[in-house]
Amino acid sequence: MTARTDLAAHLASLALPQALSQTLTAAAAACVEIRKIVSGGALVGALGASGVVNVQDEEQKKLDVISNDVLTDMLLACPAVAGVASEEMDTVQPATNPTGEYLVLFDPLDGSSNIDINAPVGTIVSVLKAPSATPTEADFLQSGRHQVAALYAVYGGQTMLVLTTGQGVAGFTLSHDGQWLMTHERITVPADTKEFAINMSNQRHWAESVQRYIDGCLQGADGPRGKNFNMRWVAAMVADVHRILMRGGVFLYPWDKREPNKPGKLRLMYEGNPMAFLIEQAGGKATTDGKQAILDVTPTELHQRIPVALGSANEVDQIAAA
């Protein structure tokens, strides 16, 4: 069998600052630990609710809490990390070591509603340069363009880690002996697609332009688009984005009328920015509405939400034009 490049060799080949490689290595190692607990499921008492409501007003699952603790502990133990922020924590946690250079933001277990039904879930990570070794919350509020790395791990049929440091996108598969081995050297998103992902049950609440765009897709070959579309919805952004990175498509979680003051469901710092960085690096587009790039949004709060429309570039343009 051909010898494969492992994550350490890949990071070395990118000539990254040593502290960034250490940070990414710690994040990837935490994903291996989370995978073990996810795959143990009911056998390790990991399923069900934790009984706690998080800062997002969502009931945390036990696995949300466990995954958050694993990432927080392993990252703060890494001398290169200056602080962490998580979808599951109210505020940022600065590291106690004085050598930290990077801020790590994460959604420890994305797609929580999939946990108890053994459907795919994942971990999403964004890395920023720390302005100081004793960071405050304001230091984390950098736009997505400032990210120096983004990755996710998807815990599905295979466990995969997909990474960018701004030099393209590479994919690794977790081997039986716990190594991340490169299986996808340069991931690119095809510009055209016939597949969309959106929670159709919210259709009547969307803005008119989103209704028009989806309606055009649903009319298929008989409508304005002149081609038939397929629809997929895994209900875990990490798995829906993974499919788009593997074969193209668009993913939308738009603003809707029910709560007009709430910009969307997904979180800018933990979901929008890291996924946008990966999608852009793979040649796709990642926007709030087909037009505004997510990476250019200036964050005003740590747990800020945004609408999302990302994926195959020409199809994102169709969303903008609808």
Provide the annotated binding site for Mg(2+): 87, 107, 109-110, 271
Cα dihedral value 239, 267, 162, 217, nearest 10: 50
Binding flag, residue 236, ligand F6P (CB under 6 A):
yes
Binding flag, residue 237, ligand F6P (CB under 6 A):
yes
Counting Cα atoms < 13 Å in the Cβ hemisphere of 256 gives 16
Location of structure tokens 């710092």? 269
Beta-strand runs (E) in the chain = 49-53, 59-61, 81-86, 93-94, 102-110, 121-129, 147-155, 159-164, 169-174, 180-184, 195-197, 230-231, 250-253, 266-267, 285-287, 305-306, 308-311
Whole-angstrom Cα distance, residue 47 to residue 36? 13
3-class SS of residue 266: strand
Cα dihedral value 65, 236, 157, 64, nearest 10: 0
> Which position's Cβ is nearest ligand F6P?
237
Of 10 and 305, the one with the shorter C-beta distance to ligand F6P is 305
Binding flag, residue 235, ligand F6P (CB under 6 A):
yes
Binding flag, residue 256, ligand F6P (CB under 6 A):
no
Closest of 122, 261, 250, 133 to residue 192, by C-alpha: 250
Interface region with ligand F6P, contact rule CB under 6 A, candidates 24-32, 105-113, 162-170, 174-182: 105-113
Closest of 55, 38, 9, 20 to residue 238, by C-alpha: 38
CB of 80 to ligand F6P, least distance (A): 27
Binding flag, residue 110, ligand F6P (CB under 6 A):
yes
Of 76 and 306, the one with the shorter C-beta distance to ligand F6P is 306
Question: Going residue by residue from 115 to 154, which x/- string records binding to ligand F6P, judged by CB under 6 A?
Answer: ----------------------------------------
Whole-angstrom Cα distance, residue 231 to residue 116? 24
CB of 252 to ligand F6P, least distance (A): 10
Binding-site annotation, residues for substrate: 110-113, 199, 265
Say how many C-beta atoms besides its own lie within 10 A of residue 31's C-beta. Answer: 28
Of 272 and 290, the one with the shorter C-beta distance to ligand F6P is 272
For ligand F6P, the binding residue among 199, 209, 211, 292 (CB under 6 A) is 199
In this structure, the chain runs to a length of 322
CB of 194 to ligand F6P, least distance (A): 21
CB of 131 to ligand F6P, least distance (A): 28
For ligand F6P, the binding residue among 111, 248, 249, 311 (CB under 6 A) is 111
3-class SS of residue 189: coil
Interface region with ligand F6P, contact rule CB under 6 A, candidates 126-134, 159-167, 235-243, 291-299: 235-243
Q: Interface with ligand F6P by CB under 6 A: which residues?
A: 110-111, 113, 199, 235-237, 253, 265-266
